[in-house]
């Protein structure tokens, strides 16, 4: 059984964000931190060296691989902001049409800067993604 290599750390997420060298990424990270704390009701936790996560869920694949991961989160990268857990909820497809400039990866959403996005759509993506990961996927009725 393989475990997730990205685990929670004791690093303070606010200190991590303060150290982000790119001014726009740093400011956008502060907005995302507040937004994701608000929609999840969870404090920020660093997952590995660069992911700021909110909430935790347990996953188990048919292969036997299992572990814990952040329900939603983000990483301020050099080229963009990587957002995790926001594209999996059924409502995501329609919200992404409203979001504005973005790219999709295998499991994440990339935006260059929040100024290029509809923050209302982004907030709803975060809320729906969090609820989906916590309620529907990993705690079914």
pLDDT tens-digit profile of 52-92? 999 998 888 888 888 889 999 999 999 999 999 999 999 99
User: What pTM value is reported for the model?
Assistant: 0.90
Q: Which helix (H) or strand (E) segment is 95 a member of? A: helix 92-99
Neighbouring residues of 128: CB distance < 8 A, sequence distance ≥ 6: 89, 91, 92, 95
CATH architecture, range 13-134? Alpha-Beta Complex (3.90)
Cβ neighbour number for residue 105 with a 10 Å cutoff = 11
**Are 55 and 131 spatial neighbours (Cβ–Cβ below 8 Å)?**
no
């Amino acid at each position: 059984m393989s475990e997730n290599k990205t685990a929670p750390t004791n690093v303070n997420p606010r200190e991590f964000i303060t150290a982000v060298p790119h001014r726009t990424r740093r400011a956008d990270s502060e907005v995302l931190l507040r937004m994701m704390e608000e929609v999840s009701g969870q404090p920020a936790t660093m997952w590995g060296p660069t992911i700021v996560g909110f909430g935790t869920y347990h996953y188990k694949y048919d292969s036997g691989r299992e572990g814990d991961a952040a329900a939603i989160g983000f990483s301020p990268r050099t080229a963009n902001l990587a957002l995790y857990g926001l594209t999996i909820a059924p409502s995501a497809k329609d919200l992404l049409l409203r979001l504005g400039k973005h790219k999709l990866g295998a499991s994440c959403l990339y935006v260059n800067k929040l100024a290029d996005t509809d923050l209302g759509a982004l907030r709803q993506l975060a809320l729906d993604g969090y609820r989906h990961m916590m309620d529907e996927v990993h705690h079914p009725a």
